Structure 1
Amino acid sequence: MMPLLDAETGASAASGWRAKSVLVLTRLLEAAAMVLMSALAALVLANAVGRYAFSSPLPWSEELIRNILVWIVATGMVLAGLRQSLICCDILIGRISPGVRRVLSIVCGLAGSAVLFYCAYLTWQYLALFGRDVSPILRIPKGVMIGGVFFALAGLAVTVLASVFKREPR
């Protein structure tokens, strides 16, 4: 399957408006990941300095760090899906004909996307039930963390589905 985005160059394999929209989405996700990683590093550093230099750790940092980590993973998963750089096994793919390979990639893409959409649906239901519960110290709604899981599942499902309908170069 052809990636929606080249992992090395960042160039889109699509043409026209699709290429621009994939590139804009990628840049937004990369920027979000950089901001989240910076915030995570700053929080961990501040907590370590507080704990070891002043014997006073930040009691609320763990809650925030946990939420940030979920969103970092979610953002990374969607970026990996756009670049089609998720872990896979290509041993079988190299041994089958291009026609069978295309049919197999369509079937696997549709099945994988369906499973991911179903898991996203279940996460949405869980979010509706428990999303308003709050954390003990900062009172952050648990929906923030659950929303990260939903974003990862739905985003990955969309990237898998988009790769199914992507035209192969001739």
Structure 2
Amino acid sequence: MSRVSEIEALKSETVVRRNWIEAGITVALEWAATFLIGTLTALVFANAVGRYFLAKPLPWTEEMAINLLIWIAGVGIVLAGMRQSLICCNILSERMSGRQMRVLAAFCALLGAVVMAYLSWLTWRYIGKFGGDLSPILKIPKYVGISGLFFATAGLTATLLLSIFKR
């Protein structure tokens, strides 16, 4: 086997391994989103039944719903970043050549990653200062919900940086 064919085989193996890892992460995030949305639906439905049919609302479900919504948004944004399906405006990029478009995409991904990393750092500091505060009914620490925001910003930072290296 020649040196060139060995290098090509290693590149192919690396791409397959990376695709397998990405697919595994994507499936795990999809299942997490399914579980979170299903749980949120069940809680809202239980509260509605309690409130309108039994005249006994379940106020604790609102605290849970708030935390679940943060995590649903976090998981969703990371999935969108992994699939390269974040909202974008193509007015400028459609008028560019292939090389110019790749440079612009890399610049935008790098800028976005820097902004998301900064937001991750701010979220981490917020969790450090206020994460121990408890919710009024269930006494859930504030870090449980805010960790979803940290997951979103850190995950989006990672997906944006990975998109640069994929190009």
TM-score scaled by structure 1? Answer: 0.88
1:58-103: CA deviation from partner (whole Å, max 9, x where unpaired): 0211000100010001000000000111110012111011111111
Question: Whose helix proportion is higher, 1 or 2?
Answer: 2
1:112-153: CA deviation from partner (whole Å, max 9, x where unpaired): 101100110010000100011110110001001110000000
Give the structure 1 partner of residue 76 of structure 2: 76
CA distance in structure 1 between the partners assigned to 2:63 and 2:50 by the alignment: 16
Whichever residue aligns with residue 148 of structure 1, its letter is G
Give the structure 1 partner of residue 101 of structure 2: 101
- Unpaired stretches in structure 1, ≥5 consecutive residues: 1-13
1:13-52: CA deviation from partner (whole Å, max 9, x where unpaired): x831100110000000000001001100100110000001
Give the structure 2 partner of residue 151 of structure 1: 151
Q: Percent identity?
A: 53
Where 1:15 maps in the other structure, the secondary structure is helix
Stretches (4+) displaced over 6 A: none
Give the structure 1 partner of residue 59 of structure 2: 59
Whichever residue aligns with residue 84 of structure 1, its letter is Q
TM-score scaled by structure 2? Answer: 0.90
Once the two structures are superposed, the pairs formed by residues 15-164 of structure 1 within 5 Å of their partners are 15-164=15-164
- State the aligned residue count: 154
Larger radius of gyration: 2
RMSD of equivalent CA atoms: 1.0
Whichever residue aligns with residue 120 of structure 1, its letter is S
